[in-house]
Amino acid sequence: MRNELTVIDEREILGKLFRVYGDFENLLFLAKDVAEWIDYNKKSNGSYDVNSMLRMVDEDEKLMRKIFVSGQNREMWFLTEDGFYEVCMQSTKPNAKIFKKEVKKILKTIRKTGMYVTDELLNNPDLAIKAFTRLKEEQEKRMRLEKEIEEQAPAVAFANSLTVSKDCILVRELSKILKQNGIDVGETRLFEWLRQNGYLISKVGSDWNLPTQKSMNLGLFVIKEGTRMSTTEGSKITKTPKVTGKGQQYFLNKFLKNNRLMEVN
């Protein structure tokens, strides 16, 4: 499920890049953008005192939401429409009043038509076609990025849970990694699942619980050989399945596919 906000309108106002987020019933403005628009308490390093600006508005006039910034989803502060008008009203900067007036005009049109159309667009069909084509391209680009985020979510979860080891790990250790990511499965049940789904040999015998040919071809497992001393049988060769780094990511991705946990019976 997508929880991040998207841009519903974007243009230039008074030389500033203006974006509206949310939907037509609940318009939101990125607090960081608002501070820049109205030149609120600019610091020596060029940034703006957003925290101070946020303290000017009531709790119901600001909120934190997730947006796609610099290649990743981030929680950011937003102002509601009332919050935006409040900071503009309290600002002593001349451009705040002008900006507020321009924004009101744009929002009024957006609510009526679903987008802001200037007289220039209405009187110039060729320019309108170019503008609508660009809007369509931007929407498609955003949708592609959102899809990529969803598809990469399992890999991100994996990266957050551990640094992928170049060394191979035991199935027991894989079950711990899965549990860290919300998949409640112990070593015994994971072995059973791996057998039932064709990753480990299920036939009882000397090869029981060893990787199947499919697993080996995919590079998910290696077989670690060792020796064990027995008073009755002497030296005996042992074989233990170990999950490769590729296998660790493969199984976590599989269990978290489509942003939901797979059932492990």
Strands laid side by side in the 221-230 sheet: 169-170, 234-243, 221-230
DSSP state of 44: T
Q: What's this model's pTM, rounded to 2 decimal places?
A: 0.42
Backbone angles phi, psi at 138, to 5 degrees: -65, -40
Q: What is the pLDDT of residue 118?
A: 47
Q: What is the pLDDT of residue 250?
A: 87
* pLDDT tier, 123 (very low <50, low <70, confident <90, very high otherwise): low
Distances (CA, A) of 45 to 48, 49, 69, 197: 9, 11, 21, 57
> Which residue ranges make up each domain of the chain?
7-116, 169-259
How big, in percent rounded to 5, are the helix, strand and coil portions of the chain? 50, 25, 30
* pLDDT tier, 55 (very low <50, low <70, confident <90, very high otherwise): very high
pLDDT digit string (tens) for 203-224? 988 889 999 999 999 999 999 9
Q: How far is CA 259 from the centre of its chain?
A: 11
Instruction: Label residue 243 exposed, middle or buried (CB < 10 Å: 0-12, 13-18, 19+).
Output: buried
pLDDT digit string (tens) for 100-121? 888 887 777 666 555 444 454 4
